[in-house]
Structure 1
Amino acid sequence: MKKEGGKTKAIARTVKLLSSSTIDERHAAVSLLLELSESQLLLEKIGSTAGSILILTTMKINDSDDPVAAEKSGAVLKNLEKCPKNIKYMAESGYLEPLWSHLVEGPEEVQMEMISYLSELVLYQEVTIEITESTSGVLIKMVRSCNKVVHKAALDVLVQLSSHHPNSKVLVEAGAVLVMVEELFIRKIDDEPESYKAKAATALANIVESGIDPDTTVVNKEGHVLTSKYCIYNFVCMLKCFIPDDFNLSIIRLLLALTAFAKPLDVMVSVVRENHRGHAIVELMSSPMEALSIAATRLLITLSAHIGHTIAERLCKTQGQPGRLVKSISHARQITERHAASVTLLSRLPHRNISLNLALVQEGAVPVLLSGIEEMQSSAKRRSRYAVQYMEGLVGSLVRLTATLYNPTVLKEVMDHSLASVLTELLAGAAGSAEVQRLAAVGLENLSYQSIKLSQMPPEEDPRPKKKTMLKRLMTTRVQGNKTLQHQQPVCPVHRGVCSTVTSFCLLEAGAVEGLLGCLESDSPRVVEARWEHCARSSTTGWTWRGACPPSRSWTPLGACSGR
């Protein structure tokens, strides 16, 4: 009868009757399934029948509604456990006890199968927390196993579990951080692939990114915590260009997460500065793996506020790196996070670093930056989620050159591309970002320092002209006419010389005065601050401003108001 029942549609019909509203039909159906489940040949067929395990587990849980059906459904499920696939079906239906018991008590082959099921199940968020609470201790013990297959499988599961941030607290309490650090720093097995360490680093990065307190998270028996120099030093030293990209990515993710805390950030800055580890991070910016390139660039951006000159020098000493950065910006047909991060790094590194500025000029960065700004002002690229960051990076990278105008090469490049006019246009706010306005004001301030030096003194007229004969006067009439035209060149009322936007960066000639005054009405305090700094500096180069705060929209050259 069991064999015949398995060959027909009897199993499917019986499962359907489990949901009958008639109690007698339900009891008959579950009794038949109990009898059929005693056959080893029918176990998989019963378990794979649509809805069978879900209905049986529901009947088992709701024992108060129908105790008889609950008892028999529990017996059916117990029989179905003899088929490993049914254990997976039960776990997917929310009935996890069979999986736990087989994982803990089963032989190695069964444990491996259960871990495999776990790897699939943790993709479903609704069961992740339950799995972590029940199995984290067992999995951590399996990670310490010398069996490579068990070791790898347990690591895979822990990586997936740790990616769900609510699990982090349970994993930390179970000792997952200690085991992952041990895997990274201590554990060494012959022929063990580097990918095992990469998995451990990924799990650790997931846990730290979840928001745990690294200052209190112990990583070994000696009492070191995640923020100790012991950990930071070892993490930084692991970064190498010849190890797998996913390993480097996880380590950088881990370091990035730790930079949110003051203590590990200070230690990281010290380690990178003293041990020349910045070279590896700079080189990883060129990785073909986009996620790794972005992560390395973001880490450098974070560190640039503390060791910017060190990073800039190492970037210049890394063969081809400045050129690759410029090239990546020039190929930004569609703005990605990688483009935005690259140009942001250039804008954040110290503006007065002449080595980097010269390298950018030599690599043709200025035309690329100007082209990018022009495209951003007139194309659909502004709709990109990274458009604002990208635009601010372009302008910041351009403004950095104005901080080293004492260098003839940089000065010529700035003149050749009329940066005063470009920054004046950006100051008008066409790009829409307050930060762009602030940067433009800073750039104009830097340019204005040079105006008094670059402004050409007007030709002086001889107060006592020599007497000339009539013949000489007739012969030199045309020449005198031309000289008169030259002498009529307008004299800048500010710098008392012949000025232009291109050659002397005169803000009056560039029409930047109204834009600078307009910045005082900006909603951004940083824009207003940049404008006031410019006003203060301008007083040393020939300007004075009328009015109190807020000032009126007027300017007066020094001398006009002092009676000179």
Structure 2
Amino acid sequence: MAEVQDGHCDSTSQSTDSLRVEPIYESFLCPLTKQVMRDPVTIDSGVTFEREAIMKWLNECLSSGKRLVCPVSKKELSSTDLNPSIALRNTIDEWMNRNEAAKLDVARKSLTSDSTECDILQALQYIDEICQRSRSSRQVVRRDGLISMIAELLKNSSTKVRQKALETLRSIAKDDDDNKVEIAAGDNIRTMVKFLNHGQTQEKEKAVSLLYELSENKSLSERIGSVPGAILILVGLSSSKVENLLIVDRAEKTLENLESCEKNVRQMAENGRLQPLLRLLLEGSPDMQLSMAAYLGELVLSNDVKVLVAQTAGSTLVNILKKGNREAREAALKALNQISSYDASAKILIEAGILPPLITDLFTVGSNQLPMRLKEVSANILANVVASGVRFESIPLDHNRQTLVSEDIVHNLLHLISNTGPAIECKLLQVLVGLTDSSTSVQNIVDAIKSSGAIVSLIQFVEAPQREVRMNSIKLLNNISPYMGQELADAFRGNYSQLSSLVRVIADNNGVSEEQAAAAGLVADLPMRDSVLTRRLLEDGAFAMIISKVMRIRQGEIRGGRFVNPFLEGLVRIVSRITFVLDDNPDIIDVARECNLTALFTDLLQMNGLDTVQIFSATALEKLSHQSKHLTKVLPAPNPGLCFSIFPCLSQKTVATGICRVHCGICSARESFCLLEGKAVEKLVACLDNNNEKVKPSGMVTIGQDKLPSELLSMWISCLISLGYFRRWGHNDHVTGK
């Protein structure tokens, strides 16, 4: 049926004349175009032309100033009137219909698996041509049952056949919903989608163009979206940097059509295309806004998308939170909960005014109050926005200029913490943690806690069975402990089990957690000279456990992330408590000996970069060395003999072997805490090289504690001079202890 050249067949170059049953009559052809006329008109000369062709001829004559003549007879025209040749038009239509019917019949026979590739391509080319002529031709194709036959060719092994079938189906579908529905029958849409993912460039181009045509029908747009992966692939194509522009454009326009279906909008949002959902959220009906807000709360959003949503729809969601009914507020809360979990988007929500309605929802009681499950969401959002690090003392909540750190607001938060379930307790404790993390607002929170007397109830949460509640309470107490050390000590003395709970947290051996670091910092901030708490820690076995952890960290046995250093600092401060209660406590001195604290703190002096560890180690050595004069075993002075008693000028002052030159007795680092015997002096001197000025005085004071004999003091001063310390400072008061 078709010509074959070099084994290949090009459907675009093949004529469909061989399919014609009746020949073309000369009178059917326009003299100008040599094509069959569709709208024949007769001019003044009596010659018939295609309307469009003769109008173009006449217009060119008029515009160029030429005489109006018939292009065939060259007869001058007295008029430009165009008289429709209805009879000829009807005759041509009848002839065309007979030929189309005959050619369609031949084409149908060619659309079978037995036909050659060239025959199939020529048949498709003919069907494509007649479908582009008129809608009636497209209807004939449907009535003759050709659509299903062409759709079956989408599975043909020939790439050319598949491409031409896609192209022909698009022509059949144009402006005809019935044809579109038939094309979409069965799994045809699924097959088209496969071309988008696995097809060659031309197949992708023709497949996405056909899908675009089908998507103009609203009911079919839902079916396209229901094909697994269809929207994901289209979203990928629409944002592709490597596909050709036609594919990208058609994919984008197809997605725009698919937006008419709410289910498709949701799928697009799931696949990162949020704008349609946000548009419906901003411009849709109240019911649509509710639906989109609710769905937004279910999505997992990347941080960049959270910022986009906050910028685009943050104010709308906050407004729903303020004025919507309960169902709408619930949807808005869930969406805001998602968006607020990133610092940058949380700050945008704060600017949009989210704080006042959040606080109102949390504090409202009575018939208008939210259910506890929604208050929990509000509490979580509040915790999220507080974590953003904004200065909340400058953000008013109401016309009274109250802020989140105002005393009344904090009192209400504390009241809620004590009178709700674990879920809300946890989040509101987290809110207070965030507020006390800030140096500008921590004092406001401390003052409110003091004035409310809430410290006892807050301490109770360190024994909470829920880990998150316990951790947030410990973090909060750790943040306020530098300001409320005595109040915390008084509360712990009222219930030792809570202190024991902190010890158990510190003792946990599963790495080093934030909770452990906070617990260590909290215990370390309790008053150092509180011997009652120190003895309680002894009874709990805290010091032996903590010293073991310090040594394991020092030896590299315990490793961890960012919490190891603050954890170690807290542990060292806790151990140093022992040295503050040595006076008149022989049993505590025995503990210090048993733990060999002189050796421990001397070793810790070498932890460069951890200034707190060095400061408290030096201070602890100072306290220990202060006891040395009481613990040194002083030997009786030897009898000088008669001669030397008569002639003292002949005597020579000597120090017996094994006698401490500082304490003039038998000393040891372990038993009498002698710094000289413990080789701590050199390490204390090394602390003077620390850039932190707070570390230097600790070393100086400790060196000066021992009231050194003049010869040894001179030796240490010489050591310091040789190291250049006096040239730097210009005085030696620290060294001599004056």
Q: Is TM (by shorter chain) over 0.5?
A: yes
Q: Distance in 1 between matches of 2:342 and 2:321?
A: 19
Question: What is the aligned partner in structure 2 of residue 521 from structure 1?
Answer: 689
Q: Which TM-score applies when normalising by structure 2?
A: 0.62
Q: Distance in 1 between matches of 2:351 and 2:691?
A: 48
Aligned residues: 522
1:301 counterpart = 2:478? yes
Question: What is the aligned partner in structure 2 of residue 417 from structure 1?
Answer: 595
Question: What is the aligned partner in structure 2 of residue 184 from structure 1?
Answer: 362
CA contact (8 A) 2:506 2:516 kept: yes
CA contact (8 A) 2:318 2:332 kept: yes
Q: Distance in 1 between matches of 2:667 and 2:252?
A: 98
Question: What is the aligned partner in structure 2 of residue 547 from structure 1?
Answer: 717
Gaps of 5+ in 2: 1-178, 240-244, 643-655, 724-735
SS of 2:381's partner is: helix
Which of structures 1 and 2 has the larger relative contact order (alpha carbons within 8 angstroms, sep 6+)?
1
CA contact (8 A) 2:330 2:374 kept: yes
CA contact (8 A) 2:659 2:665 kept: yes
Q: Distance in 1 between matches of 2:314 and 2:529?
A: 52
Q: Distance in 1 between matches of 2:321 and 2:705?
A: 64
Question: What is the aligned partner in structure 2 of residue 381 from structure 1?
Answer: 558
Question: What is the aligned partner in structure 2 of residue 4 from structure 1?
Answer: 182
Distance 1:315 1:115, change over 3 A: same
Q: Distance in 2 between matches of 1:125 and 1:227?
A: 28
Question: What is the aligned partner in structure 2 of residue 172 from structure 1?
Answer: 350
1:33 counterpart = 2:214? yes
Of the three residues 200, 219, 225, the one matched with 2:403 is 225
1:511 counterpart = 2:679? yes
Of the three residues 243, 248, 260, the one matched with 2:425 is 248
Which stretch shifts more, 174-183 or 309-318? 309-318
CA contact (8 A) 1:448 1:507 kept: yes
1:533 counterpart = 2:533? no
Q: Distance in 2 between matches of 1:28 and 1:245?
A: 56
Of the three residues 516, 526, 542, the one matched with 1:349 is 526
CA contact (8 A) 1:177 1:204 kept: yes
Residues 285-325 of structure 1: CA deviation (Å, up to 9, x unaligned): 33344343333222222212212121122233234122222
TM superposition shift of 1:205: 2.3
CA contact (8 A) 2:196 2:233 kept: no
SS of 1:399's partner is: helix
Q: Distance in 2 between matches of 1:306 and 1:529?
A: 24
Of the three residues 414, 432, 436, the one matched with 2:613 is 436
Q: Distance in 1 between matches of 2:521 and 2:709?
A: 32
Seq. identity, % = 26
Q: Give the AA of the match of 1:419.
A: L
CA contact (8 A) 2:238 2:252 kept: no
Q: Distance in 1 between matches of 2:684 and 2:568?
A: 20
Distance 1:270 1:215, change over 3 A: closer
Q: Distance in 1 between matches of 2:235 and 2:466?
A: 48
Q: Distance in 2 between matches of 1:30 and 1:383?
A: 55
Residues 160-185 of structure 1: CA deviation (Å, up to 9, x unaligned): 11112222343223321111111122
Q: Give the AA of the match of 1:528.
A: K
TM superposition shift of 1:360: 0.7
CA contact (8 A) 1:11 1:46 kept: yes
Structure number, greater radius of gyration? 2
Gaps of 5+ in 1: 466-487, 554-561
SS of 1:508's partner is: coil
SS of 2:464's partner is: coil
TM superposition shift of 1:98: 5.3
1:271 counterpart = 2:476? no
TM superposition shift of 1:368: 1.0
Question: What is the aligned partner in structure 2 of residue 205 from structure 1?
Answer: 383
CA contact (8 A) 1:132 1:161 kept: yes
Describe how 1:451-470 pairs up with structure 2 within 5 A: 451-459=628-636
SS of 2:576's partner is: helix
CA contact (8 A) 2:517 2:563 kept: yes
State the superposition RMSD in angstroms: 4.0
SS of 2:615's partner is: helix
Q: Distance in 1 between matches of 2:451 and 2:204?
A: 78
CA contact (8 A) 2:492 2:498 kept: yes
Residues 359-398 of structure 1: CA deviation (Å, up to 9, x unaligned): 1112111211222223223343135543323322222211
Q: Distance in 2 between matches of 1:435 and 1:85?
A: 59
1:237 counterpart = 2:415? yes
Which stretch shifts more, 96-105 or 148-157? 96-105
CA contact (8 A) 1:17 1:29 kept: no
Q: Give the AA of the match of 2:596.
A: S
CA contact (8 A) 1:438 1:526 kept: yes
Q: Which TM-score applies when normalising by structure 1?
A: 0.79
Q: Distance in 1 between matches of 2:322 and 2:403?
A: 21
CA contact (8 A) 1:115 1:153 kept: yes
Question: What is the aligned partner in structure 1 of residue 39 from structure 2?
Answer: none
CA contact (8 A) 1:282 1:296 kept: yes
Distance 1:8 1:399, change over 3 A: same
Distance 1:371 1:34, change over 3 A: closer
Q: Distance in 2 between matches of 1:434 and 1:421?
A: 18
CA contact (8 A) 2:437 2:479 kept: no
Q: Distance in 2 between matches of 1:249 and 1:548?
A: 59
Distance 1:403 1:107, change over 3 A: same
Q: Give the AA of the match of 1:100.
A: R
Of the three residues 376, 383, 398, the one matched with 2:575 is 398
